[in-house]
Amino acid sequence: MTFRTSISSSHVAVWAFLLVVGASTVALAASLLETIDQEVTSIYDQSRDAVVKIHAERQLQIDILPMVPAHRIGTGFFIDKDGHILTAATVVGDADMCWIEWRGQKINARIIGRDPQTNLALLKIEPETGTTTPFLPQGDSDQLRVGSMVIAIGFPYDRPSVPVMGFVGGVEIQRGGHVFATSHIRAACRLSPGQGGGPLLNVHGEVVGMAVAAHMDDECCALPINAARKISADILEFGQAQHPWVGLGVSERQLAINPTQSNQWQVFIQQIYSNTPASSVGFRDGDIFVSISSNEVHRLADILNTMFYHRVGDKVEFTMLRNGGQEKFLLVVVARPAQEPFGSTPVPQIGPSQQNQWPTMVPASQDQYGR
């Protein structure tokens, strides 16, 4: 009987311990959620004044009869104290006029430039004399990792701005048949029409991307802020984005799977375009990329990401593998022709259902969303 009693007491002690542990776990989870809630709210409150609602309008006309203007509404954000604003190019499109809603006022905005390749547009307002505009601090998008928490801010359906929290799911150069000019951030942030062009912030409240597209219903695609910074600087200095070109069409292929090898891919020359820098230095179809300048090449993204940050006139060294030996070629970068795609059709292809659904732009609310 004493033995049974001791077992019963042990059971009571174990259950009591489990209850304490369970209660502690619940309390810890609740505390963690409260902390996240406070952080998201704090970042939103600190950032919201630098995020603006953008209106773009184009007057349509058939023959001599004017029609109701086409009206789009999207999101943008200040990047400096002088009134420069970044947004998605698909927000402004080919608008005749733009303005922003900010601090209860409607303020005319001038379109400085657009870049359809990265879906970026640069706008500017003129601050009142003696005043400056608030702006969002910029982080380093290269520091993002899968699982990094991010916060998107935008104006859904012409309503007040809201934060949308999510996590980075990957950094990708292409989706389906669409190849980006440089790798984009894929984040689990569900965007609605009107939120395109808004900032993507890290846990420090720094901009790390700009929302430019949506994937299905629960993910968004963002242009990294490092890339946006380069394109906006190009527009300010040269009047347009500078996308480099040397005259090579490239593709990638997967090698036979070998667990002992860290790299399972090769990037090779698929085509050499005539009358380009690459056509006169000795490249051959099938040459395999080893490196560009000091950056190793293993995937198509390595080439596009490296070349993206060069400008017209830069000298770039290519190291190639041919017949088991390495050869080096020095090229001077020229401007990419507008009609030339980035890379070529990448390998492997992904399922047709995803190809049809990416990229879906969510640049702006249309007239049915309140205008």
For residue range 233-268, list pLDDT tens digits in order: 999 999 999 999 999 999 999 887 766 666 788 999
CB under 8 Å, gap of 24 or more: what pairs does 160-167 form? 161/48, 161/51, 161/53, 161/75, 163/40, 163/41, 163/43, 163/44, 164/189, 164/190, 164/191, 164/195, 165/36, 165/40, 165/189, 166/190, 166/220
Tokens of 183: 């790798």
What confidence tens digit (pLDDT) does each residue in 277-305 have? 999 999 999 999 999 999 999 999 999 99
The C-alpha atoms of residue 135 and residue 52 are separated, in whole angstroms, by: 11
Contact in structure between 152 and 320 (CB atoms under 8 Å) = no
Cis peptide bond upstream of 199, omega within 30: no
Whose tokens are 């004399």? That residue is: 129
Contact in structure between 266 and 235 (CB atoms under 8 Å) = no
**Mean pLDDT for the stretch of residues 115-131:** 94
What mean pLDDT value characterizes the chain? 84
| DSSP-assigned letters across all residues of 81-140 | TT-EEEEEHHHHTT-SEEEEEETTEEEEEEEEEEETTTTEEEEE--PPTT-------B--
What confidence tens digit (pLDDT) does each residue in 167-181 have? 999 999 987 677 899
pLDDT category at 309 given cuts 50, 70, 90 is: very high
- Is the pLDDT at 163 greater than 50? The verdict is yes
What confidence tens digit (pLDDT) does each residue in 323-367 have? 999 999 999 999 988 766 665 433 322 223 333 333 444 444 554
| DSSP-assigned letters across all residues of 239-281 | SS---EE-SEEEEEEEPPP-TT-S--EEEEEEEE-TTSGGGGT
The C-alpha atoms of residue 251 and residue 95 are separated, in whole angstroms, by: 36
- Is the pLDDT at 35 greater than 60? The verdict is yes
**Mean pLDDT for the stretch of residues 105-113:** 96
Q: For residue 338, what pLDDT is reported? A: 74
Q: For residue 136, what pLDDT is reported? A: 98
